[in-house]
Amino acid sequence: MDMESGKQKFLSLYGEDNEELRGYFAPGRVNLIGEHIDYNGGHVFPCAIPNGITLIVRKRKDRKLRFYSENYPFGVKEDDLDTFSHRSVNGWTNYLLGVIAALKNKNILLPNGLDCLFFGNIPGSGLSSSAALEVVFGTALNDLFSLGLTPIEVALIGQESENKFNGMNCGIMDQFASAMGKKDKAILLDCATLKYTYVPLHLNGAKIIVTNSNKPHSLVSSHYNERRAECEEALKDLQTVLPIKHLCELTPEQFDEYKGKIHNKTCLLRAKHVVYEENRTQLAVKALNQDDLVTFGHLLTSSGDSLRYDYDATCFEIDTLVEASLAQKGVLGSRETGGGWGGNTITLIKSEDIPAFEKNVSEIYTAKTHLKASFVELEAGEGARRLF
Ligand code: GLA
């Protein structure tokens, strides 16, 4: 859907009014490296993508909330600012209601209801469409009602919507990338302090291909919450002997010295992934800054191996994609990206080898899984913004 047809659809759903229409956009994200360490006080290295969610919105004179999405076939969903509750199981509007609830928790009360139309072009699952939804809505509320929030505060409110309203104990990475993305840059974010720097994505003769497994996700948030709890258990054991607040404060050497304190074998593996992933992320950013794509690629692949063997956060389809990708000419590294158990892989590859890569990986993947993979070259895009 383009903006003009979006506006027409809006007016056909909600009618004419003299209140002004406004438009906002927030992107999805791809994480280059630093997986499952945002909630362990680590560094992550995501970028926003050009694809995202657009919102056309208008204030109402009463307290009604009306939501419509071109991407979900459920028609207009209606709610009320004063009486809304967490009603629909897996309903997409829960991400939006969670944003309003998070504002309420900060004593920010919205004076008017809203009519909203959303349309998005984030392909498949795993590229943070829920974060984009929270951030586009938070960005709109902030601007429409002059709430005075910074983009980082908008991101934190989106995270609170996930954590408290939607039962997904995610970290801050996705919402931060959506709110703070920059064209042609990745964001090196320290999740313990929210300090960040932008790093140019110079890939000299290579590209990153995002491959969607098109595997339907299921039970992702329960697996995810379980991993987070396992990390917390490992941290508690280590805190009996070390004055640390987060697992990512440990170097691999310190971890190897003290890992015997972690009682549960599974929790030990999860903590190992976390500590080594933090180290890999720092090395990867250094390698990228030095134009050392070979080292950068190796680190991507070891991050993926660690997600597979130590964090147990992959699945057959992703393992198949990564193995097929690593076997192709010109590939410097490949791994699962994002929350896990499906979604997408990223592959660093020399530009001239991309056509053969896509053809071969496509064939192998379909033969082994009966699913169709889709490919897109990664481009880093701008973060959330007002469009009109
Ligand atoms: C999901 C979460 C993020 C992060 C990643 C894994 O995308 O929303 O906070 O933990 O998984 O790196």
**Closest residue by CA, ligand 1 atom 2:** 170
Atom of ligand 1 nearest to the CA of 44: 12
| Ligand 1 centroid to residue 339 C-alpha, Å | 5
| Ligand 1 centroid to residue 155 C-alpha, Å | 13
DSSP-assigned states of every residue in 216-255: PP-SHHHHHHHHHHHHHHHHHHHHTTS--SSGGGS-HHHH
Q: Is the CB of residue 36 below 6 angstroms from any atom belonging to ligand 1?
A: yes
Q: Which two tokens stand for residue 277?
A: 């992933």
Candidates 350, 326, 355, 321; CA nearest to 337 is 321
Atom of ligand 1 nearest to the CA of 34: 12
285 contacts 31 by C-beta, under 8 angstroms? no
pLDDT in tens, 19-74: 999 999 999 999 999 999 999 999 999 999 999 999 999 999 999 999 999 998 78
Q: Is the CB of residue 278 below 6 angstroms from any atom belonging to ligand 1?
A: no
**Closest residue by CA, ligand 1 atom 7:** 339
CB atoms within 10 A of CB 291: 10
pTM over cut 0.85: yes
| Ligand 1 centroid to residue 36 C-alpha, Å | 6
269 contacts 247 by C-beta, under 8 angstroms? no
Q: Which two tokens stand for residue 347?
A: 């592959």
Model pLDDT, residue 123: 87
Q: Is the CB of residue 373 below 6 angstroms from any atom belonging to ligand 1?
A: no
Please identify every stretch of the chain with a pLDDT value under 70, giving residue numbers as ranges.
87-90, 218-219
**Closest residue by CA, ligand 1 atom 8:** 170
Strand ordering across the sheet containing 385-386? 77-80, 64-69, 114-120, 46-59, 22-31, 385-386
The alpha helices in the chain, defined as continuous H runs, are 3-14, 94-105, 129-144, 151-160, 173-180, 220-239, 252-258, 265-289, 293-309, 316-326, 354-369
Buried b (16+ CB within 10 A) or exposed e, 237-275: bbeeeeeeebbbbbeeeebeebbeebeeeebbbbbbbbb
| Ligand 1 centroid to residue 171 C-alpha, Å | 6
User: Out of 38, 174, 310, 312, which one is annotated catalytic?
Assistant: 174
Which amino acid does the sequence have at 220? V
Ligand 1 binding pocket mutation candidate from 29, 33, 36, 44 (most atoms within 8 A of CB):
36
Model pLDDT, residue 218: 65
Q: Is the CB of residue 46 below 6 angstroms from any atom belonging to ligand 1?
A: no
160 contacts 98 by C-beta, under 8 angstroms? yes
Q: d(Cα 172, Cα 156) in Å, to the nearest integer?
A: 7
From residue 279, give the alpha-carbon distance in Å to each of 180, 251, 255: 24, 7, 12
62 assigned to active site: no
What 8-state DSSP symbol labels residue 18?
S
Q: d(Cα 153, Cα 143) in Å, to the nearest integer?
A: 13
**Closest residue by CA, ligand 1 atom 1:** 339
| Ligand 1 centroid to residue 173 C-alpha, Å | 6
